[in-house]
Amino acid sequence: MNFLFCHYFKYGMENEVMPESSILWKHYQTPCFDVPTSIDFSSFGIITASNPESIAHTDAQNNERNAQLEHYISECGWEYVSLTAGSPDMLWQESSFAVKANRSDLFAVSETWQQNAFYWVNNKNLILVPVLLAPHFQPVNLGHFDNRLTF
């Protein structure tokens, strides 16, 4: 995907949606969350530093990136809960954080950490928010957050 992404920009096709982006966007719409403790925030975002631009990194690289992100979250004074986000079968998983902060701040953090999207939860309503994919995709309402929890 990285080569194709660079190819599109090099040849002036940055305003076109790549097929890989559409596939990713559909996968992002089927998340499940493993939350080891309750989240008592009425509004929060679910962010990660793992696999920037959806390019697979090693566990060690992702762990280091998430440790740096967790330090940043703490430095900002934001409340947070660690969790795991993944596919419905949980074969794909990423360490993540449910962070009590405003949506625009979490958008900026996700952009800094080169994420294609993040999840926003407002009064239990789960929304997929595009970040690096923002010019091509709009936020998508994914329904009730509790329906995405694994037990």
pLDDT at 61: 98
Q: What is the pLDDT of residues 115-132, one digit of tens each?
A: 999 999 999 999 999 999
Given pLDDT bands bounded at 50, 70 and 90, which one contains residue 4? very low
Amino acid at 145: F
| pLDDT given for residue 21 in this prediction | 87
Q: How far apart are alpha carbons 2 and 48 in whole angstroms? A: 19
CA 145, CA 25: separation in Å to the nearest integer?
A: 18
Quote the percentage of the chain above a pLDDT of 70.
Answer: 87
pLDDT for the residue numbered 135: 86
Closest C-alpha to 73, from 42, 41, 98, 103:
98
Stretch among 4-13, 42-51, 65-74, 96-105 having the lowest mean pLDDT: 4-13
Closest CA to 49 of 18, 72, 32, 30: 72
Confidence of residue 10 (pLDDT cuts 50, 70, 90): very low
Tell whether pTM > 0.85. Answer: yes
